[in-house]
Structure 1
Amino acid sequence: MACKESSVLPVDIMEAQLSTIDLLMAMFPSPDELEIPESTTQCVERLRDWCENPTSTPPKIPSSISLTVCLPIADGDRTIQVNISVPLHCDNPETLEQSPSLGYSLRQPEWMSRAEVARLTASIPQGDDALEAFEYIQAEASRFFENKQSQTVAPEDADRGPTVRVWFYFPSLSTRKKRDDMVNLAPGYALTGFVLAGKPGVLCLEGGFA
């Protein structure tokens, strides 16, 4: 038995889909924020013409069109790209009462594995409310990034290089103020170690070799 071909959305619902695209273009006016393929732009223009004159034959259009939004996360230091699929066809236009749900997928950022991207994509709320989906993606991606940052070595520690230990011997080290200065000043230079007072005195310092 042959499968029934899908049909172009009714005019009123097609206009709603175009309004969603207009909303995204208004929310993300910069080319760095919204990426629209040329094929999508051309298709949208054909659909606008058809919606203004619905008595004409519907243009030949794909089942969906796509665009990409770049969402800032983690206080704007990072971004995540969201691919949005806007359906333009349906199986039964006569019984369709509302716009088909938008589809979402994520482009894998360098700080997420493929499996992590798949889990986040699967949890995105489905529906025609793009704002809700964006807020969810931003919140979850930011939480993931912050958790990952807390589990990694701090950048200043990672850049210190190999640890070096140096010994200093003093003929005499008995003044308490000098010992206190060594202890109090060392953290400011990312140094650790210990000091032994006496004659002779000993100072051991450990730190990264830049």
Structure 2
Amino acid sequence: MSYLDWAGSQLAEIELLCSMFPAQDELQFLDPLAIALLRSYVEGSGSKDGPPASRPQFEIKQKMQPTGMDEMDVIVACAYPSEYPSVLPEITVRCSGLNRSQQSQLHSDLGAYLSETCLGEVCVLSAVDWLKDHLHLYACPTSAPAPNQRAPPPAQHPEVFTRLWIYSHHIYNKVKRKNILEWSKELGLTGFSMPGKPGVVCVEGSQDACEDFWARVKVLTWKKIMIRHREDIPLGGQEDDSGPAPTLDSLRKFNHFEEAMFDPHGNRGNHMDLGQLYHYLNEKGLSDVFQMYFGVEGR
């Protein structure tokens, strides 16, 4: 298939979605210009310059009520790669009724389902239908204890501070960049994301939150993404001669999470000044990470 064939399938699915979700608050396009450019490309029977660089990105907002459970707000965020549907779209799901581990498992299972059954075909509606049919499996209600029975205390696990250093071949997509910022805030993580080529992401906070963040990020469509390095430090314990026991906040190197840009340059403005990145890390006491990422000492 050609780019024109793929673009035609994308436009047809978008028109179907508009008819299936006519209310303005149900289907929201994050970049309406991208839709207009896609339509122009298809209806003009393609362009010698290739498909438009801006890719369709949208969110479907639904209220779903699994059997025997409260109604849940579900958001399905989607971005089309140029080659969709020959490759899967980038789909992330946010649900008010799921905890971190439930949401991570849902993402993993949805990705596996789409890979097995929908590759080569448009699949956004299939993803929404799958969620309606399977959401109850990830939001199982907990049984309340009998009136005279005291619920057992939750299992206690030692808390661990974690810092993840994530490397990606590139981070360009606006939806991915938005998700990285929103998920880090949602999970109470601090750190930074450097878009462009290569892409660098650092998140720090509780181990559970960092693992949840990585579970969400890694299932998106990437040319290459990996955890380059991780730091895990147990918390608590007793104060000794070296000082008070470390806490989550005392180990943080960042006050918040931000998208960091370092003098973007290049034909597409997608390369950062790595010298500025080195100084940024050095100010945080993290300059040794630079050599780990790039194989050279920073200056």
For residues 155-170 of structure 1, the aligned pairs below 5 Å read: none
Task: Measure how far apart 1:112 and its partner are.
Answer: 1.4
Partner of residue 70 from structure 1, selected from 61, 67, 78:
61
CA distance in 1, matches of 2:75, 2:18: 15
Q: How many residues align?
A: 134
Corresponding residue to 2:39 among 26, 48, 58: 48
Q: 2:145 & 2:23 partners in 1: Cα distance?
A: 35
Deviations for 1:43-101, whole angstroms, at most 9, x for unmatched residues? 11112112222245336413x432111233216832211111212248xxxxxxx6332
Check if 1:26 corresponds to 2:2: no
Asked whether the equivalents of residues 33 and 71 of structure 1 are also in contact (C-alpha less than 8 Å), the reply is: yes
- Aligned pairs for 1:4-153 within 5 A: 10-37=3-30, 39=31, 41-53=32-44, 54-58=46-50, 60-62=52-54, 64-74=55-65, 77-89=71-83, 99-109=86-96, 111-124=97-110, 125-126=113-114, 127=118, 128-145=122-139, 147-148=140-141, 150-152=142-144
Match of 2:225 in 1: none
CA contact (8 A) 1:34 1:68 kept: yes
- The answer (yes or no) to whether the contact 1:71–1:138 under 8 Å persists in 2 is no
Name stretches of at least 5 consecutive residues in structure 1 with no aligned partner.
1-8, 91-97, 158-210
Q: CA 1:19–1:99 in structure 2 vs 1: closer, same or farther (change >3 Å)?
A: farther
SS at match of 1:138: helix
Decide whether the 8 Å contact of 1:50 with 1:56 is kept in 2: no
Q: What is the Cα deviation at residue 42 of structure 1?
A: 0.4
Give the Cα separation in 1 of the matches to 2:48 and 2:73: 43
Higher strand share: 1
The equivalent of 1:194 in structure 2 is: none
Identity %: 18
Higher relative contact order (CA 8 A, sep 6+): 1
Residue 28 of structure 1, CA deviation: 0.6
1:116: how far off? 1.3
1:127-149 per-residue CA deviation (whole Å, 9 max, x = no partner) reads 3322322121122223443x22x
Distance 2:95 2:123 in 1: 23
| Aligned position for 2:250 | none
| CA shift in 2, pair 1:151/1:65, >3 Å | farther
SS at structure 2 position matched to 1:107:
strand
8 Å CA contact 2:3–2:51 kept in 1: the answer is: no
Cα distance change, pair 116–85 in 1 and its aligned pair in 2 (3 A): same
User: Which letter does structure 1 place at the counterpart of 2:14?
Assistant: I
